Structure 1
Amino acid sequence: MNEGQILGELRFRAVAGRPVVDILVWLRDALGPQMTYFQFMGYLFKAFEIPVERLRMLELWVGVTPGGRLSDDEIEALLAPLVPRDGSTV
């Protein structure tokens, strides 16, 4: 997938009401094992304009960091209010 397709899919999933953790897992899997944290964070910033200080919290999520401290529920609570659900993205 190219960048435009990935951003479109992220936004589509958000508008469809998917939980943030499901969106994050999809992105992680779509980027594959060569994914860097910077790529992961960059796509989320481009798709949803989530503030970088919040995105940095993802480094602590168990979904991207083995032994991470933040659970799925904690990430959901942290990011869900910041993900536009009405398609009003950049």
Structure 2
Amino acid sequence: MKKIRMGFIALAAIAGVGGAYATSHKTRLTGTVYYSQKINSTQSVWRAVQPGTACQPSALDCTITSTSANVTSLPPNTYPAQFTVVNNAGKSHGM
């Protein structure tokens, strides 16, 4: 009986560690990283190279990843079809 009880305790410990890892493990971002760049006071476009270091208020996010093609040729204030926001919702990199 003692062995069965110890087995259940060991199983609970393993399940607890696995559950903690599953809820705290960050998913990897896939795709190319794009940065938002302000082109005037109300519009932003995506660039493959980070244009600045400070985030400024804008209609776009600072950084996204995307597997879409031609992201840098999208119209202003437009997200690609496949994108994931990396950081700073509602912000943009300024020049």
Q: Same fold (TM over 0.5)?
A: no
TM-score (norm 2): 0.25
| Structure with greater strand percent | 2
Q: Which has the higher contact order (CA 8 A, sep 6+)?
A: 1
* Structure ranking higher in helix proportion: 1
